[in-house]
Copies of this chain bind each other. A is one copy, B any other.
Amino acid sequence: MLDSTATPLKTLLRRRKPGYSLEAPFYTSPEIFAADMDVIFGHHWLFVGVDPDIPEPGDAMTLNIGKASIFLVRDDDGEVRAFHNVCRHRGAPIVHDYKTTVGNLVCRYHSWTYGLDGKLLAASHMGEDFDASCHGLKPVHVRSLEGLLFVCLADEPPEDFEVMAAKMAPYLAPHDLKNAKVAFEKDIIEPGNWKLTMENNRECYHCAGNHPELTVPLFAYGFGFAPEELDEHERKEAEDYDKLLKASHREWESCGFPSTLMEHLDDMATGFRTERLPLAGDGESHTNDTKAACKKLLGRINDPKHGALHFWTQPNSWHHFMSDHAVVFSVLPLDAERSLLRTKWLVHKDAVEGVDYTIENLTGVWDATNDQDSELVGYCQDGARSPAYEPGPYSPHTEMLVDKFCNWYVNRMTAHLGR
């Protein structure tokens, strides 16, 4: 009756009904949000950016993961390092801008100076008993998977990142993201819990009614349907799509582009899924006219008709790699009811804006789609706030991946918190 009688998190986790959306507190409770930030965002690998965000030694990028402020910096050997952005003296941030280039790392408050390896190099007035070697910046685990940067805030990150990396590298390598550049990036704040943003990403049941731009290049049949509801014409279309998918996979794999479905969404700590899918229309890219947005293709690709390689990761990212460009998305929770969605569009590093591509054409489909999804996420947040909300059933044909996201979430929370 009063808030003090709120159901404990462990009970909510234990009684979660598979095939149904989560109970309301998972989307609204500040306490569960804090637990999410600890367990999920504090102990798993998170996608946070790309190698081309910080291409040169000294390039740095800051980032907030919940209450943690970190920065990534490319050191003098060309390696990416990550640190907590907190001076060991009295806690001031070391790097202030989102993206910048630094020499040494000098705190603005009292000028303590650290190297790019995090070591404390200078601190005045600290007296003769002061041990600088105990006051280096606190490191954060960071890995690059073919140009995709993942961090983990835990002391001991999940080890199966290596499994994902080994399996995914052949899929990603041909797009050669390390030799791409960020042509455009955009942050939007979605008015919903981060899990609603993820759930929305994991189904296309809503695409037909809400994404007029995205459904031009996308084949609806690639995202599930109830066969018993198809009329004769639709059944024919579905069969044609299935043939196209198989033929495309055969062709792409034969020229060295792994394409078939691989899915570990709820059976790994570092859960993921991938598949290369053919596109509709001219079949080249996620653009309004389905043609490549950039004349210069990525990596060693020379045929624009390479479909779209999709890469979904738990808990916070998805990626679309086309022949000409890639779009990468990361979700950074802000509070129980707001999430940052950060989208970056990448093209070959030698492509020239205005000559090889325009920002408008490159970003048109996903910029519009993100805004549409943001509104939908807000709807569900409104619903979750209502005392009348109760978990509803997922479609067995179009919302399987949403269900798997929830499975993964419940499993990981339970693994950390105990039953």
Chain A residues with CB under 8 Å of chain B are: 1-4, 9, 21, 31, 34-35, 38-39, 42, 67-69, 84-93, 108-111, 124-128, 130, 135, 138, 153, 199, 205-206, 209-210, 224-226, 228-229, 376, 379-380, 382-390, 392-393, 395-398, 416-417
Using Cβ atoms and an 8 Å threshold, which residues of chain B touch A128? Answer: 228
| CB atoms of B388 and A84 under 8 A apart | yes
Can you offer 23 A-B residue contacts whose CB atoms are under 8 A? Answer: A1-B39, A1-B417, A2-B34, A67-B385, A67-B386, A84-B386, A86-B383, A86-B386, A87-B383, A88-B390, A89-B392, A90-B383, A92-B382, A93-B382, A108-B376, A109-B210, A110-B206, A111-B209, A125-B225, A125-B229, A126-B393, A135-B393, A153-B387
Using Cβ atoms and an 8 Å threshold, which residues of chain B touch A3? Answer: 31, 34
The chain B residue with its CB closest to the CB of A386 is B86
Using Cβ atoms and an 8 Å threshold, which residues of chain B touch A205? Answer: 110, 125
**Complex: how many Å from CA A60 to CA B266?**
43
Q: How far is the CB of A311 from chain B (nearest CB, A)?
A: 25
| CB atoms of B226 and A110 under 8 A apart | no
**Complex: how many Å from CA A251 to CA B271?**
77
**Complex: how many Å from CA A397 to CA B128?**
11
Given contacts A90-B383, A109-B210, A125-B226, 5 further A-B contacts (CB under 8 A): A1-B38, A1-B39, A2-B34, A91-B379, A91-B392
Using Cβ atoms and an 8 Å threshold, which residues of chain B touch A88? Answer: 390, 392
The chain B residue with its CB closest to the CB of A383 is B91
Using Cβ atoms and an 8 Å threshold, which residues of chain B touch A199? Answer: 90
| CB atoms of B2 and A38 under 8 A apart | yes
The chain B residue with its CB closest to the CB of A20 is B90
**Complex: how many Å from CA A31 to CA B2?**
7
Q: How far is the CB of A260 from chain B (nearest CB, A)?
A: 24
Using Cβ atoms and an 8 Å threshold, which residues of chain B touch A125? Answer: 205, 224-226, 229, 395, 397-398
Using Cβ atoms and an 8 Å threshold, which residues of chain B touch A126? Answer: 226, 393, 395-396
Most buried by B among A209, A379, A398: A379
**Complex: how many Å from CA A382 to CA B243?**
56
| CB atoms of A86 and B389 under 8 A apart | yes
| CB atoms of A127 and B395 under 8 A apart | yes
Using Cβ atoms and an 8 Å threshold, which residues of chain B touch A416? Answer: 1
